[in-house]
Amino acid sequence: MAVKIRLARHGKKGYPFYHIVAADSRAPRDGKYIEKLGTYNPNTNPATINLNFEQALGWLLKGAQPTDTCRAILSYKGVMYKKHLMGGVAKGAFNETEAEARFNKWMEAKNGKIEAKNNKVASDARDAQKARLAAESKVNEDRAKAIAEKKAEEVAAAAKAAEEAAAAAAEEAPAADAETPAAE
């Protein structure tokens, strides 16, 4: 029986969520599996990976073949590197303590990169929010200026209309005064 380490799709349409499983290569994608090794959620940024490291390493050492995507996930989590180091120990290239030291050094560097990416994503989100708020405040200021200008124009138009009405009333009043003595 050939064992594959692969993804089994779960989740709703358009929003996938995967289980990382060790399964018989003849079994269907979402069908029966031997053991669940972890989960993979590509919908978050960065993608969320929960993996049982020891189980995954055990299956690789037993000869399970990962699919391309699972190989990338296992490599990202360090399982493939650990398998590589275990092969070096088996061949006698170095001892187990040196292999463990190399692996820990690699994991520290990897965790630093992951932390840097998380910080960058968070700062980008904050910067985007600040930009949206600045754009919104600019639009609100422009809208307030337009409303103030419109009110100023209305006040000026009302003042002009009142002035014209007063001027018309002033013109009518002397004419009415002039006509009144003639009528007497």
What tens digit of pLDDT does each residue of 131-145 get?
A: 999 999 999 999 999
Tell me if 77 sits within 8 A of 49, measured CB to CB: yes
Give the pLDDT score at 1: 74
* Residue 30: other Cβ atoms inside 10 A: 14
Mean pLDDT of all residues in 73-85:
95
Smallest CA-to-CA distance from 99 within 112, 110, 88 is with 88
Give the pLDDT score at 178: 55
Give the pLDDT score at 182: 52
